[in-house]
Amino acid sequence: MNQQPTDKPERSTSDLVKAAVSGWLGTALEFMDFQLYSLGAALVFHEIFFPEQSAAMALILAMGTYGAGYIARIVGAFFFGRMGDTIGRKKVLFITITMMGICTTLIGVLPTYAQVGIMAPLMLVTLRIIQGLGAGAEISGAGTMLAEYAPRGKRGIISSLVAMGTNCGTLSATAIWAVMFFLLDREQLLAWGWRIPFLASVVVMIFAIWLRMNLKESPVFEQVNEAETRKPAAAAAAKAETSLGAMFRSKSFWLATGLRFGQAGNSGLIQTFLAGYLVQTLLFEKRIPTDALMLSSIIGFLTIPLLGWISDKIGRRIPYIILNVCAIILAYPMLSMIVDKGNEPNVIMACIIIIHNFAVLGLFALENITMAEIFGSRNRFTRMAISKEAGGLVAVGFGPVLAGIFCNMTGSWMPIVVMLVCYSLIGLLSAFMMPEVKDRDLNEPEDAAEAVTKRKENAVRSSYV
């Protein structure tokens, strides 16, 4: 096992706490933003911004607007990821949190289709694109920063705070929508109540911005930056390794993208499409999916750190493999019970909670630290951001739209099962092929799979000497 360099810049426990809370808050705001919109798109936006379409087509258009944010995310991942590897994590994270927060708040003051016609959905798409640019680097930057702060042997459980930020954001957004549905009748909700969740996010934004203004830079970035300043040749090599061509030739990049694709695809189907499908197509009560996701997020406060702790003990690969296998096995029985209107609401909600924790939250608990350890110090932020968003662009951005089209064409819920199994199979294959990266030296410049190959080649050469 490689030893950590002894000249690593010092960071106190207080600095680690600030980095952890900053990552948690930023991720919470990101997922609060996107869950606010995803539930809004599934439950009310089809009437507010696309009222002249049929129910099925309006849902597809609302999900398409949701996907527009994911197209912007991959652009933001490349632009801000490169910036984060060049000028530092802290500066970029300040920019991204500000962009996301402002756009979410502005969605709450948009005019509706009834007020300004086609300009309403156009303005909505514009804000989603700007929001997506910032979000494309937010969670990767937070994951990179926290992994580079955390001590070896505890990275999994500490980095699980980023995943818990996801949980907090999802829970907060779902809870706010649940309260809106409980307190307001349908006319009030469509007239003005839908604005409240977006306006409320400004509180989280202000606190997160203040905290990041007082955050120190990542010690790994400082050390690598200092080393490359002393050695210009190393800096030139690092620049060559950050090219898109080098990234696409990296086995580690495709493995990380596969891990992300599996988790993100399941997330888009369960947290976004399924909620709208149950309400709009199967005519379930709106409280069933919202309450189920809220309860699942609460349970996630136990399962997420537990999985982070387990991965610190037995490694990252085995938990990934187990969770994906469970998601594949559970897909059909859970979905068949969820869509059966003859079942009690509590049974339906329990099934949503089970599949959500195995196929979404459990995988995400492992994702940030695993991907941070897969990539080398030269380009960790960039490659982590792009691999996350490349997987998210296809799986989350287009997955719910495709699910809506396939379910509408077949008149069946089976496309949801097929897509869940396919996503999980991709994640499973990636987990089988990846090297174990637990407690890898984060100062190593090379990506993990390439470093393993290089060590094997050196060992072979040494055997002939």
What per-residue confidence (pLDDT) applies to 427?
Answer: 95
Output the domain CATH number for residue 124.
Answer: 1.20.1250.20
* Residue 166 token pair: 């996801």
Q: For position 59, what pLDDT does the model report?
A: 58
Helix 119-149, helix 155-183: angle, nearest 10: 150
Q: What is the pLDDT at residue 237?
A: 57
pLDDT of residue 171: 75
The confidence band for 8, taking pLDDT boundaries of 50, 70 and 90, is low
Count of beta carbons in the 10 Å neighbourhood of residue 70: 24
* Closest by Cα among 351, 360, 435 to 392: 360
Which tops the pLDDT comparison, 184 or 355? 355
In a domain, 3, yes or no: no
pLDDT of residue 311: 96
Range with top average pLDDT, 176-180, 265-269, 299-303, 328-332: 328-332
Name the residue with tokens 């959905």: 121
Range of 407's domain? 15-221+245-455
pLDDT for 2 equals 44
Band the pLDDT of 396: cuts 50, 70, 90.
confident
Closest CA to 250 of 396, 380, 71, 429: 380
Residue 382: per-residue pLDDT = 92
The residue-averaged pLDDT of 395-407 equals: 84
* pLDDT at site 1: 42
Nearest-angstrom CA–CA distance, 193 and 208 = 25
Residue 3, Cβ density class (10 Å: 0-12 exposed, 13-18 middle, ≥19 buried): exposed
Average per-residue pLDDT in the chain?
84
Domain contains 168: yes
Does residue 104 form part of some domain? Answer: yes
Decide if pLDDT at 231 tops 70: no
Residues 6 or more apart whose CB falls under 8 angstroms from that of 454 comprise 446
pTM of the model: 0.82
The reported pLDDT for the residue numbered 306 is 95
User: Domain tally for the chain?
Assistant: 1
Please report where in the chains the tokens 């309006």 appear, as a residue. Answer: 58
Residue 392 lies in a domain: yes
pLDDT at residue number 52: 61
Q: State the greatest distance between any 2 C-alpha atoms of the chain, in Å, as a whole number.
A: 81
Work out the percent of the chain whose per-residue pLDDT is above 70: 88
Reported confidence tier of residue 5, pLDDT bands at 50, 70, 90: very low
Q: How far apart are CA 161 and CA 24, in angstroms?
A: 6
Nearest to 142 by CA among 156, 158, 162, 166: 162
Which one has a higher pLDDT value, 440 or 390?
Answer: 440
213 exposure class (CB count in 10 Å sphere: 0-12, 13-18, 19+)? exposed
The torsion region of residue 262 among left (phi > 0), alpha (psi -120 to 50) and beta comes to alpha
Residues whose CB falls within 8 Å of the CB of residue 157, separated by 6 or more in sequence, listed in order: 305, 308, 309, 312
Interior/surface letters 88-126, b for 16+ CB within 10 angstroms, e for the rest: bbbbbbbbbbebbbebbbbbbebebbeeeeeebbebbbe
Which of 324-333, 381-390, 442-451 holds the top average pLDDT?
324-333
Q: Is the pLDDT of residue 319 over 90?
A: yes
Specify if 153 maps to a domain. yes
Alpha-carbon distance 156 to 378, whole Å? 22
What pLDDT band is residue 385 in, cutting at 50, 70 and 90? very high
* Tokens linked to 465: 């000497």
Tokens of 188: 């009030």
- Count Cβ atoms within 10 A of the Cβ of residue 5 and give its class: 0-12 exposed, 13-18 middle, 19 or more buried: exposed
The confidence score (pLDDT) of residue 459 equals: 73
- Residue 4 above 50 pLDDT? no
Q: Which residues of 135-164 are buried (b: 16+ CB within 10 A; e: fewer)?
A: bbbbbbbbbbbbbbbbeeeebbbbbbbbbb
Q: Report if residue 461 sits inside a domain.
A: no
Buried b (16+ CB within 10 A) or exposed e, 328-353: bebbeebbebbbeeeeeeeebbbbbb
Q: Is 409 contained in some domain?
A: yes
* Encoded amino acid at 441, one letter: D
- Asked if residue 367 is part of any domain, the answer here is yes
Q: In angstroms, rounded to a whole number, what is the distance separating the alpha carbons of residues 387 and 144? A: 13
Phi, psi torsion values for 283, nearest 5 degrees: 60, 40
Res. 61: pLDDT tops 70: no
Residue 316 in 3-state DSSP?
A: coil
> Which of 33-42, 208-217, 272-281, 349-358: highest mean pLDDT?
349-358
Q: Does the pLDDT at position 119 exceed 80?
A: yes
Phi then psi for residue 112, to 5 deg, are: -95, 175
Report the Cα–Cα distance between both ends of the chain, in Å, rounded: 24
Contacts of 356 (CB under 8 A, 6+ apart): 270, 271, 292, 293, 296
Per residue in 141-164, pLDDT tens?
888 988 998 888 999 999 888 888
- Region 293-297 average pLDDT: 84
Percent of the chain with pLDDT over 90: 29
Q: Is 124 helix (H, G, I), strand (E, B) or coil?
A: helix
pLDDT in tens, 412-465: 999 999 999 999 999 999 999 999 999 999 988 889 998 888 887 777 777 665
Q: Report pLDDT for 197.
A: 85
Stronger pLDDT, 33 or 296, i.e. the higher one:
296
Q: Say yes or no to pLDDT of 362 above 90.
A: yes
CA distance 25 to 31: 10
With CA atoms as reference, report the closest residue to 37 among 140, 146, 95, 110. 110
Residue 107 and residue 408: Cα distance in Å, rounded?
29
